[in-house]
Structure 1
Amino acid sequence: MDEPLTIEGGHPLRGRVRISGAKNASLVIMAASVMIKGETVLENVPRIRDVEVLCGILQHLGARVAWQEDNSLCISVPENIDVETPYELAKKLRASNLLLGSLLGRKGQARICLPGGCNIGSRPMDLHLKGLSALGAEVKLEHGFVEAYTGNLSGTRVYLDFPSVGATENIMMLAALTPGQTYVENAAKEPEIVDLANFLNAAGAKVRGAGTDLIRIEGVKELRGTRYTVIPDRIEAGTFMAAAVATGGDVLVENVIPTHLYSIMAKLQETGAVIRQVNGGVRVIGPKEIMPVDVKTLPYPGFPTDMQSQMMSLLATAKGTSVIVENVFENRFQMVDEIKRMGAKVKVEGHTAVIEGVPALYGARVKATDLRAGAALAIAGLAAQGLTEIENAYYIYRGYENFKAKLQNLGAHVW
C-alpha cells in the first residue's frame, strides 16, 4: 500500500521549478511508435506511473522498451507483435485504448481490453469506434474487449460529434497508414494533438492542419524510425502556477510553451496574481488576497478540465464567491467532499460548483479520488493551516514526475 503524502501548510512556494514532458503527449506518441518500422527514441518523456504501465503493455505485446542513459526512451517493435492488450495492465490506464488505432495500422487487427472498465456506451469510446469504422475497419465489442480488423481501408471524411482528443488521435494514427486522403472534421485542437502530428510527420507521415478543427491526412505506405522530443506538460505547469498563487508565493515555472497556458494564465491573473513571461518560462507571484473568479471548462483553447480541481482549491480561500461550470467530464467534482473536510464551502448542483471563499483552510486527513484531485488536495494542503495527510497519493504519481521533490525544492514542507 502506498504511503500517504503529508503536507505542513503555510509555507509560500518560492524558487524555480522545471516542468517535465507532457503525460498525455508521451502516452499517445508511445502508442504511435507501434506503427513504426525501426527504432523510436523519445526525449523528455516523464518517468511517471502511467508511462511505466504503458511500457509494460508494449513489452507484453513484444516490443523492446528501454530507458537510455540520457533518460530518453527507446522503443523497437518487431514484425510479430501481439495484438491483444493484457487486462491487468490495461485496467490501470485509460490511454491503453490509443493502441487501437496504432495496432490496426501496424498489424491490421487489434484486441483491446476496455480500459478501466469503461462503458462502451460513453461518448468518448463511441467516437473512437465511429471514426475507425468510417475508415473501413470492422469493429465489434465482445466480452470486455474491442475487436477490430482492417477490412478494405480507404481515406474518407470523419465528422466528430464532439472534439474528443482520444478519438482524434486514434483516427490520425490509422489514417496515417490508410491509402487516400482522410479529413477529420471537428477535430480536437489540443497541443498534444499537434505533438502527435509532428511526431508522425517526423516518421514520414503526411498530416496537415493539426491544431485546427480540420485535420487532413494523406496515407503513406510505412513509417520509419525517428528521434523526437515531447512537449512540456501544460497541466503540470498550471498546477505549480496555481500552487504558487494559493500560497502567496513567487515561482518561476521553467520549460513551458506559454501559448499552451494562455487560458490558465488569464484566470490566475483574474485572481490578482502577477504573471510575467520571462526568458525560458513564466513567473507567477501570488496576491495578498485571492479574488473570486468564474471558470468554465471547455475543449482547448478553452480552460482545461484537467485544471478545474486545482482552481477549486485555489478559490476556496478567495475573498468572495466563485462559480465553476464543468462542461467536459461529469465526475470532476469528486474531490468536493474531501476539500470540505479542510473547511472549504462548496455546493454542487449538476455541472456547477459554487465556492464560497473562507478565511482559511485547515489541515485534515483526505483521500485522492483521481490524478487531478490528488494534485488539487496537495495545493489545498500547501495553503492550509496545520498538517494535511493525503491518502491514495499514488494517483498523483500517475501524472506528476518527482512531485514531492519539486515541491520541497520550492520550500514546501512535504514528506
Structure 2
Amino acid sequence: MAKYLITGGTALHGSVKIFGAKNSSFKLMLAALLADQPSTISNLCFIRDVVVVKQLIESLGGQADVGENKTVTVSGKCLHSSEVATEFGQKTRASSMLLPILLHRFKKAKVPLPGGDAIGSRPLERHLEGLKALGVEIRGENGFLQAWAPRGLRGSEYTFKKNTHTGTETLILAAVLAEGPTVLNNAAEEPEINDLINFLNKMGADIGRTGYRQITIKGVGSLRGTSFELMPDRNEAVTFATAALATGGDILVETAREDHLRAFLDKVNQASGGYEVTGEGIRFFSKGPLKATSVETWHHPGFMTDWQALWVTLMTQSTGESVVHERVFENRFGYVPSLQNMGAKIELFNPEVKNPEIFYEFNSSEVVENPFHAARIYGPTKLQGSQLAVNDIRAGATLTLAALVAQGQSTLENVELIERGYENLDGRLELLGAKIHKTN
C-alpha cells in the first residue's frame, strides 16, 4: 500500500499545469461508444478512474487506445456484450452511465450498482425515473440493474425532482439517439455537462440549453467520430489554489478558468486571499493573514461540494470563526477527526433547517445514521504532523494539504484513493517546493 511522507511548513511557489477534468474524461470516453467511428479525446488526465473505464470498455469489446500527448481513442464499433462485470461496479460509479449506451446498442443492459467514494449516497432513482420516461423498463436485483428497451428509446419531457449531475448526463446520453425530442427540466448546469454536450454535438448530436436549467435534445439517427479537448479540471485548480493560500505561497495555476471558479474566487476575495487572472491562468498568492469566511456548498454556479474539505482546512489557518455547511451530500466530513488529531479546532453540528427536503440536495428523509451536515472552524491553529489515512479522493487531497501546512512530519496512507482523482499529485507538489515523498 502506497503512502506519502510529508514534512510541512514550506511555502509553495511556482507554476503548475492543470490536466483535463476527471468528471469529463471517463464520461466522454463512454459517450464515444455511441459511434462506430473512433473519437480522440485529448488533455486526458491519466488517473485510476480513467484506467478502469478503459478496462471496462475493452471488456465489452470496445476500443480504448491510449496515445501520446495525453490522448485516448475510443470506438464502440466492436461492442459485443450488454453486460458489465461485477468488478467494475466496485471500481467506478461510471457503470450506471453505460445503461443508455448499451440500450442504444443492444436494446438491453445489465450493469452492477455503482461504487465510488464513501461520501454519502448518490440517489440513482433520479437517473432511473428519467430513463423510464424515455421508454426503458428497469429492474434491480442481486446488486445489478437490468434494463430493456425492446422498441428503442423515445423522446419525452422529464423534470428532475432535485439537482443531479450524473443523472443529467445519463439522460442526455439516453436522449441523443432516441426517437423524437427530449426536454430535461431542472437539469444540472455544471461546466462538465457542457463539455459532454459540446463533445456530442461535434459527433453530430443536436443538443442545446434552451432555458433556465433546461436542456433540449433532438434525437438523431447516428453519431460520428470526432476529436475533442477536455476542459481543465476545476478541482485540481482549487487544490493548488488552496495550497498556495494555506502555506503562504504564490502559485500560477495554468489554464484555470475564471468562469469555472467564480464561487471559489468570490470566497477567496472575502477571505483576503490574493488572486490574479492572467493570460496563462489564475495566480493565487498570500496577501497576509486570512479572514474566517463561511460557505454553503451547492450545485453550480454555487460553491462546489468537492471544494468543501479543502476550504475547511484553509479555514484552520484563518483568523476567526467560520461555518462550512454541506448541502449536497449527507456525509462528507469523514476527514474531520484526522484534522482534529492534528490540532484543528473544529466542531461538527447540524444547523436548524426549516425545510430539509428543499434545503438539501440529498434526500434528507432517507438519512438513517443522522450524520453531521456542518462544521464550525476556529482559527488560526498550528497543525502538527500526524499519522493519517485517506478515505476518499478529496479528503486525501485535504489531508495532503493539512500535512503541508503542519509542523513536523506526517505519514499519509492509502494514497491510491488520491490517485483515482489526481495524476502525479506528489510530483507536482514537489516541483512547487513541497517536501513530499511517495513510498510503497
> With structure 1 as the length reference, what TM-score do the two structures score?
0.96
Tell me the distance in 1 between the aligned counterparts of 2:237 and 2:79. Answer: 40
* Residue 202 (structure 2) aligns with: 202
1:24 alignment partner in structure 2? 23
* Contact 2:19–2:45 (CA under 8 A) maintained in structure 1: yes
Distance in 2, matches of 1:210 and 1:47, equals 34
Q: In structure 2, what is the equivalent of residue 89 of structure 1? A: 88
Report how far residue 149 of structure 1 moved.
1.1
Does the 8 A contact of 1:194 with 1:210 survive in 2?
Answer: no
* Correspondence for 2:357: none
| More displaced 10-residue stretch of structure 1: 67-76 or 173-182 | 67-76
**Distance of 1:94 and 1:80 partners within structure 2:** 20
> Partner of 1:254 in structure 2?
254
Which of 408, 411, 415 is the aligned partner of 2:430?
408
The alpha-carbon deviation at position 212 of structure 1 amounts to 4.7
Q: How does 1:105-144 map to 2 (within 5 A)?
A: 105-116=104-115, 124-144=123-143
Q: Encode CA deviations 1:69-108: one digit per residue, 9 max, x unaligned.
A: 2331011223442111111132111122211122222322
- Residue of structure 2 equivalent to 1:318: 318
Residue 390 in 1 paired to residue 389 in 2?
no
Q: Report the Cα distance in structure 1 between the residues aligned to 2:90 and 2:56, rounded to whole angstroms.
A: 11
Q: Distance in 2 between matches of 1:210 and 1:123?
A: 27
Note if contact 2:62-2:79 (Cα within 8 Å) is conserved in structure 1.
no
Q: Which residue of 2 aligns with 1:103?
A: 102
Structure 2 counterpart of 1:226: 226
Q: Which residue of 2 aligns with 1:302?
A: 302
Which SS does the other structure have where 2:288 is aligned?
Answer: coil
SS, match of residue 5 in structure 2: strand
- Residues 193-202 or 32-41, more deviating: 32-41
Q: What per-residue deviation string (whole Å, max 9, x for no partner) do you get for residues 156-196 of structure 1?
A: 11100111011100100010000111000000000011000
The one-letter amino acid paired with 1:252 is L
- Partners of 2:240 and 2:253 within 8 A in 1: yes
Q: Are the counterparts in 2 of residues 124 and 166 from structure 1 also a CA contact under 8 Å?
A: no
Deviations 1:281-323 (A, max 9, x none): 0011123212101010001000000000011111112111110
> What CA distance in whole angstroms lies between the structure 1 residues aligned with 2:210 and 2:272?
34
Instruction: Pick closer, same or farther for the CA change 1:80–1:318 going to 2, 3 Å.
Output: closer
Question: How far 1:35 sits from its partner (Å)?
Answer: 0.9
Tell me if the contact between 2:91 and 2:116 (Cα under 8 Å) persists in the aligned partners: no
* Aligned residues: CA RMSD: 1.7
User: Does the CA-based 8 Å contact 1:193-1:211 persist in structure 2?
Assistant: no
- Contact conserved, 1:102 with 1:170, CA < 8 A, in 2? no
Equivalences for 1:108-187 in 2 at 5 Å? 108-116=107-115, 124-152=123-151, 153-187=153-187
Counterpart residue number, 1:72: 71
**2: distance between equivalents of 1:247 and 1:323?**
21
Structure 1 residues 118-161: Cα deviation after superposition (integer angstroms, max 9, x where no partner) = 99x95620011001000001111121111111144321111001
Where does residue 366 of structure 1 map in the other structure?
Answer: 388
Return the offset for 1:359.
3.0
Segments of 5+ residues of structure 1 without an aligned counterpart are none
d(CA) in 1 for partners of 2:116, 2:191: 27
In 2: Cα distance, 1:163 partner to 1:233 partner = 21
Call closer, same or farther: CA 1:393–1:118 in 2, change over 3 Å.
closer
**How many Å separate the matches in 2 of 1:231 and 1:370?**
23
Structure 2 partner of 1:347? 347
Q: Structure 1 residues 360, 118: closer, same or farther in 2, change over 3 A?
A: closer
Stretch deviating more after TM superposition (355-364 or 365-374) = 355-364
Give the whole-Å Cα distance in 1 for the aligned partners of 2:313 and 2:256: 23
With over 3 angstroms needed to count, the CA separation of the structure-2 counterparts of 1:123 and 1:55, relative to structure 1, is closer
Moved over 3 A (4+): none
Gaps of 5+ in 2: 350-371
